[in-house]
Amino acid sequence: MNQELKKYIETEIFPQYEMYYSHGMLHIENVIKNIMQLAEYYKLDKDMSYTIASYHDIGLRVNRENHELESGKILNNDKVLKKYFNEEKIKIMKEAVEDHRGSRKERPRNIYGEILSDSDRDFEVKVLAKRQLATNIKNYPELKTFDEIFEQAYNYIMKRINKQGHLNLWTDCPIFVEKMRKFEEDFFNKDYTREIYRKEYERIASDGTIDKIKNYYLDY
């Protein structure tokens, strides 16, 4: 891919994720890794794929609820990106970023939105535990015990299961179908999942991370 574009994103965009925990660079790097695999499989534009993965959560700094739309706006208004992409490509990327929310029921408007949405997933229970516990601790201060927090988190994911008993994927790349199958196999084993969440909870409770999640990091 274009190295100059990559450098720009690394120096100007990535530092903006520093104040985030579940949406920090660990998450962005995972999404980039996923999307580059999908871009390869579907023979899509690598520069566009890398860019949408990098910008997809950047709108959090403006507005938490509608961060997809804000991310789309920031991408659309970025003058530097216009050096690398024509108007048509910018529009496709803006729509892809706007459509990335995982709980969304309608199919994203273009293939880039589909690969972004499918890349924006945690395919490892451990990673999901880290991100979801943080989100719930911040969002639901009324949940006090580990069990309360865990049940809320577990049910949230289970509500996303479709009529066939599976979590949704927009794309059909075999690598991702297999990743999702493995994830479901692990996650649906509730005792196994609870243990992973419990270990993560004990870790963040004992090393001060919970305080940082509540008082320092900006994501929710």
Amino acid code (one letter) for 105 = K
Handedness of CA 79, 72, 28, 116 (dihedral sign): negative
Q: What is the rounded CA–CA span in Å between residue 203 and residue 210?
A: 9
Q: Does 57 bind Fe ion (CB under 5 A)?
A: yes
**Segment lying near Fe ion (by CB under 5 A), choices 10-18, 114-122, 138-146, 156-164:** 114-122
Q: Are 119 and 38 in contact (CB under 8 A)?
A: yes
Least gap, CB of 146 to Fe ion (angstroms)? 25
Pick one of 120, 122, 200, 219: the residue that binds Fe ion (CB under 5 A).
120
Q: Does 47 bind Fe ion (CB under 5 A)?
A: no
Least gap, CB of 58 to Fe ion (angstroms)? 10
Neighbouring C-beta atoms of residue 196, cutoff 10 Å: 18
Q: What is the rounded CA–CA span in Å between residue 146 and residue 136?
A: 11
Q: Does 122 bind Fe ion (CB under 5 A)?
A: no
Q: Does 70 bind Fe ion (CB under 5 A)?
A: no
> Of 78 and 122, which has the nearer Cβ to Fe ion?
122
Q: What is the rounded CA–CA span in Å between residue 182 and residue 200?
A: 20
Q: Are 112 and 96 in contact (CB under 8 A)?
A: yes
Least gap, CB of 139 to Fe ion (angstroms)? 15
Least gap, CB of 214 to Fe ion (angstroms)? 21
Handedness of CA 152, 69, 30, 183 (dihedral sign): positive
Least gap, CB of 23 to Fe ion (angstroms)? 6
Question: What is the SS3 assignment for 133?
Answer: helix
Q: Are 87 and 43 in contact (CB under 8 A)?
A: no
**Segment lying near Fe ion (by CB under 5 A), choices 42-50, 54-62, 131-139, 187-195:** 54-62
Least gap, CB of 196 to Fe ion (angstroms)? 21
**Segment lying near Fe ion (by CB under 5 A), choices 39-47, 50-58, 170-178, 202-210:** 50-58
Q: Does 99 bind Fe ion (CB under 5 A)?
A: no
> Of 48 and 58, which has the nearer Cβ to Fe ion?
58
Closest CA to 114 of 106, 122, 123: 106
Number of residues that bind Fe ion (CB under 5 A): 2
The residues of the shown chain that bind Fe ion, judged by CB under 5 A, are 57, 120
